[in-house]
Amino acid sequence: MRTKKILTIGVVLVLAGVAVWFSKTSATPVKTSNRETYEVKKVDDGDTLQIFRYGRSEKVRFIGIDTPETVDPRKPVQCFGKEASAKTKQLLTGKTIRIEFDPIVGERDKYDRLLAYVWLDSELINLTLLREGYAHEYTYRSQAYKYQSDFKQAEAGARQSEVGLWSPQTCAGVTK
């Protein structure tokens, strides 16, 4: 009886070890506060990045913001685009993020990118980019969204403080 109990405990410990090892090597996201975590594989530009989700690479477009273009083949690189892209790369490259969807906006855009709020620990990166003047507030499909009021307020604060895009020295002579 004692041998059977020891053997059972041993099997449980081995299975627990395998489960821990598998969870560290699996691409399956970890649930935290109804948000899933993912490693950022690549930052495409100021408002788009790539993650590995459910066995495939996915592009994520930040909800509620728009940064000047740097990679759109239909448009030239826009004023302050390189700076916005560099800021997002500095904040997120190689980091683990949480993404939060907004049912008002929907899960995907017309380019099949995930639409999400991007969280780094307790920091909402969409909001940080607005607050620091790297992005404009952007209302997708003319629909209100969860953090819209906060985002509009953050952009107004950046404009008033004349930071980033809103600095008189940034892109002098270019309409903002």
What are the catalytic residues? 61, 69, 113
Question: Kind and range of the H or E element at 114?
Answer: strand 114-120
79 exposed, middle or buried (CB, 10 Å; 0-12, 13-18, 19+)? middle
In terms of residues, how long is the chain? 176
Residue written as tokens 């903002």? 176
Eight-state DSSP code of residue 140? G
Instruction: Tell me the sheet residues that pair with 48.
Output: 45, 61
Question: Kind and range of the H or E element at 123?
Answer: strand 123-124
